[in-house]
Structure formats: structure tokens, C-alpha cells
Amino acid sequence: MDTFALVVTIAVALFFTYTNGFHDSANAIATSVSTRALTPKAALAMAAVMNLAGAFMGSGVAKTVSEGLIQTPTGSKGMGILFAALVGAIVWNLITWYFGLPSSSSHALFGGMVGAALAGGTTVYWSGVLEKVVIPMFVSPVVGMLAGYLVMTAILWIFRKANPHKAKRGFRIAQTVSAAGMALGHGLQDAQKTMGIVVMALVIADVEDYGDPIPVWVKVACAVMLSLGTYAGGWRIMRTLGRKIIELDPPQGFAAETTGASIMFTTAFLFKAPISTTHVITSAIMGVGATKRVNAVRWGVAKNIILGWFITMPAAAIVAAASFGIVNLAFL
């Protein structure tokens, strides 16, 4: 196997992780920054550290990505499919980042994998895509919205007699914990997705076998790149999540972050499902905001975000398929 192709594919995978970090850093910290619970620099630093820690908390999601979605042939064709999948995901990440749209890096990656696999004439495990990607894509936002609404309703009832100013100060402090939980969950989910891609590349190159433990250097490299990307920040998307959907106060921010983190940990450990942190936190913010009054949520902005969710996988798939065609003509 061409060592150069392996090195290039791993490098592109790590660059995807970096774009994932700055694209999705808003998921963990937008609510805390918008409520002034944390300063932007402190929030980014905290998120970077917790992303790093979260990457070492499991491997179930990585196994799903590396073994449960597509079959990659050995040799240069398999490496070309992985390379094209990553190009599709990166291009879509950069486009949505430019327009400040909080789309899912995860679904950009999965769309890229499916598009490249179809273009390469290899097997797509449609049952795995349906069970581990498509169903969670629809279910997790619904759960996030409902859970966010219920958590915020419970907070309003529990603290109904509390002094509003004291309660807000307390929730600002509590948000440092909930934001850390979100960042930890983001590391747990998103770093593992790239680990799965790197493992696939190593298997194609006959360096590793499926089922082998993830090498420590792979975990470290993916975790570090995700953290570096997170620290670089994603200010365009942060403004959308933190301000444009609804003006959040500290109790609402705490409720949204707690909801999002709980869902991410549950899906990673119980179902090993690679869900989108973007979908979960955005829908949780909508659910929390709806407790104020339904029209407090800017549903026009929400509609554009949801539209972006639906077009992410096919758009990334199309770019990946085109990328594979170019790679196939030029090198294979």
C-alpha cells in the first residue's frame, strides 16, 4: 500500500477534525457566552480542554463509524474513497461556517462517506446508515426540543419563589458546569468519528485489523486537533446559536446545555450512535425558548437551520462523489 496515500488521508482526516472543532465549538459555549456566564476566551479554553478529555472516554462511536456504515476495499481505491469522503465533509463544513449556519459536521462526514462509497462502487450498509445515522438525525432533535422544554419547565417551577437576581447569578455559575459537560460530550462524540476514519485508513493500508484497539497516537492526534480547532473558535455560528434563535438568560442556557450533554452521553454509551451535537443543542435551545412563549423563538431562523440539516448529507455526498471521480481519473 502506498504509504504516501495513507499519510495524506490521515492528514486530511485530522484537518477535518480541526474544521469540526472550529465549526462546532459554538455547540458547547454559545449559550454560556451569550448569557455572559463565561468570557469568550475562557469559554473557548475550557471547551478545548474538555474536548480533549472527552476524546478518551470511549470507543463505541468510533467502532460504529469504522465498521458499520460502508465497506472500503483494500488498496488505492479504498483510500481514494476515504479521501473523497473527507473532502466532501470539509467543503460542506467550510461553506456552512462561512454563512454562519450551524449544520452538522457529523452528517457532513456520513454524507461524504456514502457519496464516495456509491461513486466508488462499494457497499453501503444501508441498515447501519438508517439505524445509526438517519433515525437519530430525526429523533435526536425531537428529543432535544422536548427535553429542553421539560427541563426548563421544571427549573421554572422549582425556582418559582426564588429571588430572580440571585437565581440568575447562581445559574451563571452553574453554566460553567453545564458548558463543560457539553464540551466533554462533544469530545466524546466528534473526536471518535475521526478516530473511526483513521482506523479505516490503517486497515486499508494493512497496518491494523478491524477489531484491534484504537492506537493511542490516533486518540491523541484526533483529540488535539479537535481541541485546537475548538480554541480557534467559530464566531459566525456562535452568534446564530447564542443570539439569533432566542435571547437566552442563564437559567435557559443551563437548561439547554444540561439537556444537550445528557443526550450526547446517553447515545454514546448506551447506543454507540454518532449523533449530531449541533442538532441536539440547537433543538434544546428551541425547546427551552418555547417555555417563555412560542413566538419568543425566531422560527424563521430555526427553519433555515433545519433546512440546512436536511441538505447536509446529500450535499456532502455530491461533493464527495465528484471528488472521488477526480481522484479516480487522476490517480487510480
The residue among 180, 153, 161 whose CA lies nearest residue 251 is 153
What pLDDT, on the 0 to 100 scale, is given for residue 244? 53
10-residue stretch averages of pLDDT, the chain, 332 residues long = 86 94 73 79 85 86 89 89 96 85 84 96 92 88 94 94 89 91 90 92 89 90 90 64 64 92 90 83 87 70 72 94 91 68
Burial class of 199 by CB neighbour count within 10 A (0 to 12, 13 to 18, 19+): buried
Classified as helix, coil or strand, 302 is helix
The residue among 275, 65, 288 whose CA lies nearest residue 155 is 288
State how far the Cα of 37 lies from the Cα of 94, in Å rounded to an integer. 29
How much is the pTM?
0.88
What pLDDT, on the 0 to 100 scale, is given for residue 45? 85
What pLDDT, on the 0 to 100 scale, is given for residue 198? 95
| Side-chain half-sphere CA neighbours of 105 within 13 A | 32
What pLDDT, on the 0 to 100 scale, is given for residue 97? 80
- Residue range(s) defining the domain that contains residue 78: 3-331
**CA triplet 307, 308, 313: central angle to 5 degrees?**
115
3-state secondary structure string, 31-85?
A: HHHHCCCCCHHHHHHHHHHHHHHHCCCCCHHHHHHHHCCECCCCCHHHHHHHHHH
Say what angle helices 105-119 and 76-98 make with each other, to 10 degrees: 140
State how far the Cα of 193 lies from the Cα of 28, in Å rounded to an integer. 17
Question: What does the chain come to in residues?
Answer: 332
| Dihedrals phi, psi of 70, to nearest 5 degrees | -140, 160
Domain count for the chain: 1
What pLDDT, on the 0 to 100 scale, is given for residue 238? 60
What pLDDT, on the 0 to 100 scale, is given for residue 177? 92
What pLDDT, on the 0 to 100 scale, is given for residue 233? 65
| Dihedrals phi, psi of 161, to nearest 5 degrees | -105, 0
What pLDDT, on the 0 to 100 scale, is given for residue 96? 83
